[in-house]
Amino acid sequence: MGQDGEGEPTAPAVRRGAAPRALGVLAGVPTALLAVLHLLLVGGGLGPFLLWPRTRVRALAVLVAGARRLAGLERARRAFFFGDRFPAAYETSDRRLLRYVAVRGWTGLVCGVVLGLLGFGAALAALLAVAVVRGSVGWAELLGQLLLGGVLLFLDVQGLYALTALDARLARDCFGPSEGELLRRRIDELAGSRAAVVQAVDTERRRIERDLHDGVQQRLVALAMLIGRARRGRERDPGRADALLRQAHEEARGVLAELRDVAWRVYPSALDSLGLEEALGGVAQRCALPLLIRF
C-alpha cells in the first residue's frame, strides 16, 4: 500500500497482460490527437484573450478546464489498460496539467507514427513472403530485405518502448507524486528517523549518567569513606576497624550488583537468548510501577 499527497493509502498497481497494454497504446493515439486539437484550436482561439490581462484569468480557466477533462481521460486509460493506480486526492497545478497535455499530445502522435510504420513494415513483410512463395525474389535480394527489415523493426520497437515508458512517467508526474517528490519525502522520513534515533540515544545517555551519578557514584564515595575510617582507626580500635571493613565489603558487593544492574538496563542479555519480548518482561518486573506490555 502506498500513500498519496494527503497521507491516504492507495491501491497498488495491477500488472496487465500484453494484449491490454497494446490496446492501451493504440487507444492513446486518438486521445493524443484530441489533446493536440484542444491546444491548437482552443488555445489558438483564446490566444488574444490570454494576452489581455483583463480576460487572461477566464481564458486560462477555460483552457485548463478542457485540459483537465483530457487528463481525466488519460488517467482512465492508464488505469483501465495498464492497471495504474493513482492517489485519489492528489492535486496537480494548472501549469503541470497543461504541460502534461501538451507533451502527451505530441508524444502520442509520434507514437501513432511509429505504429503506422510498424504496420507498414508488416504489410511489406507480407508482400515479401508472397513474392518468396512465387519465386520472384532472389536469395541475395531476400537477404538484403531481411537485414534491412530487421534493423528497421529493432529501431521501431525500441522507439515504441521508449515512448510507452515516457507515457507512464508523464502520468506518474501528473497524477501522482513524481519521482522527485517521492525522493524528497523519503529524505524527510530518513531525516525524521535520524532525529528520533539521536534523541533516543541522548535520552538513554542522560539516563545512564543519572543512574551512575545518583547510585553508583554515591555508593563508591561511601565505600571510600568506610575504608578511610577503617585505616585511620586500625591501630586505636582494631574491632571497630574490622567492623568498618566488613561494612565496606558489603558496600562493595552492593556497588558491583548495582553496576551489573545498570549494565543490564543498557543492553539486557535476554535480547541475545530470549528475544525482545522476554527482555521487556524482565525490565517490567524490575520496575517499581506496574507495567502492561502489548505487542
pLDDT digits 0-9 by tens, 236-271: 777 777 777 777 777 777 777 777 776 666 655 555
Question: Where exactly are the structural domains of the chain?
Answer: 2-180, 194-286
- Residues 6 or more apart from 238 whose CB is under 8 A from it? none
Position 49 scores a pLDDT of 86
Cα dihedral 33, 38, 40, 41, rounded to 10, equals 120
Give dist(CA 14, CA 243) in Å, integer. 81
Position 222 scores a pLDDT of 74
Give dist(CA 45, CA 205) in Å, integer. 70
Q: Mark the ranges of the chain whose per-residue pLDDT is less than 50.
A: 1-11
Is residue 167 within 8 Å of 107, Cβ to Cβ? Answer: yes
Position 262 scores a pLDDT of 66
- Residues 6 or more apart from 125 whose CB is under 8 A from it? 149
Position 106 scores a pLDDT of 92
Partners of 3 in the beta sheet?
9
Position 273 scores a pLDDT of 61
Position 30 scores a pLDDT of 93
